[in-house]
Structure 1
Amino acid sequence: MREALIVWGGWSGHEPQECAHIVRDMLEEDGFKVYLENSTEAFADPSIHDLSLIVPIVTMSKIEKEEVKNLAAAIESGVGIAGYHGGAGDSFRESVEYQFIIGGQWVAHPGNIIDYTVNITKSDDPIMEGITDFPYTSEQYYMHVDPSNEVLATTTFTGDHAYWIDGVVMPVAWKRKYGKGRVFYSSLGHQAKEFNVPQMKTIFRRGANWAAR
């Protein structure tokens, strides 16, 4: 049986505990044995090297050097990692090693909660199979991203809230490798209710299963 670890915490506005339970239920439905922890100390446990998947749901906060070092080593050896929105893309702002794993870092969401469009750029990828461009209402994440990411979906900024980024095409979902480990990230999912959007939930669910070894 595949085993997954969800570590939740950080800024409460992203409803990390509620989202951790949603992700747990989803993974259990897909045959995982799931462990929940609410401290980054879990990343320092040597046993994470035996997992199939790690899901961080920790916005901002801090991570100790020994924690991120062990996390990076586990993923490099083949453990998968899957995350979404600020729970993975705005975690541990001082840790460039963590950002190197995820492949991006949030820097802004102009206009806060707005209507925008998610454009599917790799419709032939199994993660995106059957999903077409769709409207979305949430924070439209502007991120600094790794050019080695394999981008699966994007969004285009209008400039209504920051005129100097008008027309910028920004990755929304991607997959990548970190050593032998698979990494999946989606910027969708500001709060728990967004898991009710079928496309958002399906993209993350498939991405997590792809990432898991």
Structure 2
Amino acid sequence: MREALVVWGGWSGHEPEKCAQVVRDMLEEEGFKVYVHDTTEAFADPGIKDMHLVVPIASMSKIEKEEVNNLTSAIKSGVGLGGFHGGMCDAFREVPEYQFMCGGQWVAHPGDIIDYHVDVTRPDDPVMEGIERFPYRSEQYYMHVDPSNEVLATTTFTGEHADWIDGVVMPVVWKRRYGQGRVFFSSLGHVASEFEVPQMKTILRRGLNWAARAE
């Protein structure tokens, strides 16, 4: 049986505990045995190298050096990493190695909660199969991203809330490698209710399954 570690904490506005419960249920439906912790101390456990998947949900959290070193080593060795929104890509702002692993870092969400569209750039990828361009209402993440990411979906900024980024095409969903580990990220999922959007939940479910190391 595949095993997954979900670690939640950080800024309460992202509803980390509720989101962790949703992710736990989703992974259990996919046949994972899921361990849920509410402290980054779980990342320091040498046993995470035997996990198949790690899901951080820890927006704006701090992390100790031994914790991040153990986590990055585990992913490099082949453990999968997957997550969404600020829970993964705005978790540990002061740790460049963590951002290097994730492939991106949140910078801004002009206009806060707004209506925008998500455009599928890789309809041939199994994660995006059957999903077409769809409307979304949430924070539209402006990010600094690694050009080596394999981008599966994007969004385009209109410039309404920041005129200097009018027309900027920003990655929303991507895959990448970090050592032997697979890494998956979706910027969708500001709060737990967004899991009710079928495209959002399907993309994350498939992405986490892709990232997870095979048994």
TM-score bracket for the superposition, by shorter chain length: over 0.9
1 CA distance for matches of 2:199 and 2:143?
21
In structure 2, the partner of 1:143 is 143
- Counterparts of 1:126-141 in structure 2 under 5 Å? 126-141=126-141
In structure 2, the partner of 1:65 is 65
1:58 counterpart letter in structure 2:
A
In structure 1, the partner of 2:210 is 210
2 CA distance for matches of 1:172 and 1:61?
22
In structure 2, the partner of 1:119 is 119
In structure 1, the partner of 2:75 is 75
2 CA distance for matches of 1:66 and 1:23?
26
TM-score, normalised via structure 1 length: 1.00
In structure 2, the partner of 1:106 is 106
Deviation at 1:117, TM superposition (A): 0.3
Q: Which runs of 5+ in 1 are unaligned?
A: none
Q: Helix, strand or coil: the match of 1:122? A: coil
2 CA distance for matches of 1:147 and 1:71?
23
2 CA distance for matches of 1:49 and 1:59?
23
In structure 2, the partner of 1:96 is 96
Deviation at 1:61, TM superposition (A): 1.4
2 CA distance for matches of 1:161 and 1:91?
25
Deviation at 1:89, TM superposition (A): 1.0
Q: Helix, strand or coil: the match of 1:188? A: coil
TM-score, normalised via structure 2 length: 0.99
2 CA distance for matches of 1:179 and 1:47?
18
1 CA distance for matches of 2:151 and 2:90?
18
2 CA distance for matches of 1:97 and 1:45?
19
2:197 counterpart letter in structure 1:
V
2 CA distance for matches of 1:42 and 1:98?
16
The share of aligned pairs that are identical, in percent, is: 76
2 CA distance for matches of 1:147 and 1:50?
30
Runs of 4+ with >2 A deviation:
none
CA-based RMSD of the aligned residues comes to 0.3
In structure 1, the partner of 2:34 is 34
Q: Deviations over 1:8-37 (max 9, x none)?
A: 000000000000000000000000000000
Deviation at 1:154, TM superposition (A): 0.1
Instruction: Report whether the alignment pairs 1:178 with 2:174.
Output: no
In structure 2, the partner of 1:5 is 5
- How many equivalent pairs are there? 213
Q: Which runs of 5+ in 2 are unaligned?
A: none
2 CA distance for matches of 1:23 and 1:61?
19
